[in-house]
Amino acid sequence: MDYKEAYETWLNDSYFDNATKEELTKIKDDEEEIKDRFYRQLEFGTGGLRGVIGAGTNRMNIYTVRQATQGLANYIISQSGQDKGVAIAFDSRIMSPEFAREAALTLNANGIKAYLFESLRPTPELSFAVRKLGCIAGIVITASHNPREYNGYKVYWEDGAQITPPHDKNILAEVAKVTEFSMIKTMDYDEAVSKGLLTVIGSDIDDAYMEELKKQSIHPEMIKEVSKDIKIVYTPLHGTGNIPVRRVLKELGFEQVYIVKEQEEPDGTFPTVAYPNPEDAKAWELALKHAKEVDADIVIATDPDADRLGVYAKDTNTGEYVSFTGNMSGSLIAEYILREKALKDTMPENPAIVETIVTTDMLKAIAAEYKAELIEVLTGFKYIGEQIKLFEENNTFNYVFGMEESYGCLAGTYARDKDACVAVMMLCEVAAYYKLKKMTLCDAMNDMYKKYGYYKEGLATITKKGMDGAKEIENIMSDKRSNPPAVIGEYKVLKVRDYLKDTITDMGTGETEPTGLPKSNVIYYELENNAWCCIRPSGTEPKIKYYFGVKGDSVEDANKRMEGLKAALM
């Protein structure tokens, strides 16, 4: 069926509601819009769905959500997991409650129990709930930090992490088999409740989650020493972080926490920001204005589903607020945890830190300092979560901390996904530690550079939308794969890792060895002088991403090297 036939089916089939048909009627003369909405089925990738909200096969709507859920249900039944059930959470985005409810009812119609949160919750709490409730799987409706027109659907397995092999490929295959809407089951909400198939969950899980967060604090007594002195400005960016972040900070004893009122309430239109992403400088305008008014020590933002943490800290030397990348804030937390556990003699045997391949190399130096194993995984926090499971199954290492460059980290093993709630509380504890030493986070970061080296990382993206854009991205990756460079800028290429081919090629000898990681469309260049760069398509947006990392002799030198490497690769 081509895109025109698919459009006509949606326009005329009685299966689709009147609101959907009205929306599609309005675009009847817009050939390009019809093509974009129907040229493909919204792809169920290795993590789930993500796309623009609207009517059509290439859009997020109740029909594509039901279709994905029917495939998931079929797989759960094949694994005899229907009695374990599925936990479902959702964020503040447009249509999130509706999509969550539709997913629950499709599961219920297939005889699978569903545990649906009563209202919006952070993504990491869903990860926690899956294991707390003993579920076979979990679903969270979110598009994370994407623009307001997006929504998404992420799937978790019984270990609490996003789906990894073999489950991701198997679920994807089951979803692909659901080719007709007549194959999809659903049922009435009240009937599902009365039959015991649908259970609404809330405060019991919240309380248990909160207790796990607080267990990660290393020096709660220290927080109380500076609770009246340290000033924190926080914005949830209209998302799910408002209640849990404020609650954990309050219960730990922080007394001067100021909320950005204009961004406090959940709102899927994100009225005060064009792009609700802590990585975007424009998202910080209101928070920084408020920070200056109250003379805050640190300024914190979480993204809409509260799995990413953004930070600014005051530099007392200049009086200005300085932005911290995810690599910087994560490194501060990592060193604090390792150092203080070592000093308190609470470090577990065989400690391990896990990071993705595009995360800062400073973490390698920190791990070496405290004799912790450093394990690298593919981009995506699900691979960090998977390592926790493997450590436990194989009795190899004890997970201490994990992080990725894209503003995500996890302290503890209560969840298996990045958690901005625990990241906020840990970073505030780090700030309290340095406050007692009359230091700021900026001072602490400068000390880390002096100790471990001046590491600098960067990210650049190119957006390529639509069917033609997808082809362009494919061509870029194919060209890079076929023509590996010998030199990038001032750096000689030592090795090329092609994760799709599962090869590491020594550019000097031509010898190859396996990467040891799952296949993925990623190319990584190991460069001389502790530099590196990496190219991969985004798994959630129509973008190709370029990552860079260098080590300099000073902040200025690192910045100069970074810009040179970026210009050469781009």
Q: What share of the chain is helix, strand, coil (3-state, %, to 5)?
A: 40, 25, 35
In terms of Cβ atoms closer than 10 Å to its own Cβ (0-12, 13-18, 19+), residue 345 is: exposed
CA 395 – CA 348 distance, rounded (Å): 13
CA 189 – CA 40 distance, rounded (Å): 31
- Give the HSE-up count for residue 24: Cα atoms under 13 Å, Cβ half-sphere: 27
Going by C-beta distance under 8 Å and a sequence separation of 6 or more, which residues neighbour residue 511? 505
CA 190 – CA 192 distance, rounded (Å): 5
Q: Are 260 and 234 in contact (CB under 8 A)?
A: yes
What angle, rounded to 10 degrees, do the helices at 420-436 and 203-215 form? 40
Q: Are 142 and 152 in contact (CB under 8 A)?
A: yes
Q: List Cα–Cα distances, 222 to 114, 345, 400, 443, in angstroms.
A: 42, 17, 21, 19
CA dihedral 366, 371, 375, 380 (to 10 degrees): -40
Q: Are 21 and 6 in contact (CB under 8 A)?
A: no
Q: What are phi and psi of 134, to 5 degrees?
A: 70, 35
Q: List Cα–Cα distances, 505 to 33, 379, 569, in angstroms.
A: 44, 20, 19
CA 548 – CA 360 distance, rounded (Å): 9
Containing H/E element for 220?
helix 220-226
Q: Are 313 and 440 in contact (CB under 8 A)?
A: yes
User: Which of 226, 227, 249, 245 has the alpha carbon at shortest distance from 235?
Assistant: 245
User: Which of 157, 211, 46 has the alpha carbon at shortest distance from 388?
Assistant: 157
Going by C-beta distance under 8 Å and a sequence separation of 6 or more, which residues neighbour residue 121? 89, 90, 91, 206, 240, 244
Active-site annotation holds for 127: no
Give the pairing of strands 491-498 and 503-506: antiparallel
Q: Which of 96, 127, 144, 520 is catalytic?
A: 144
Q: Which residues are catalytic?
A: 144
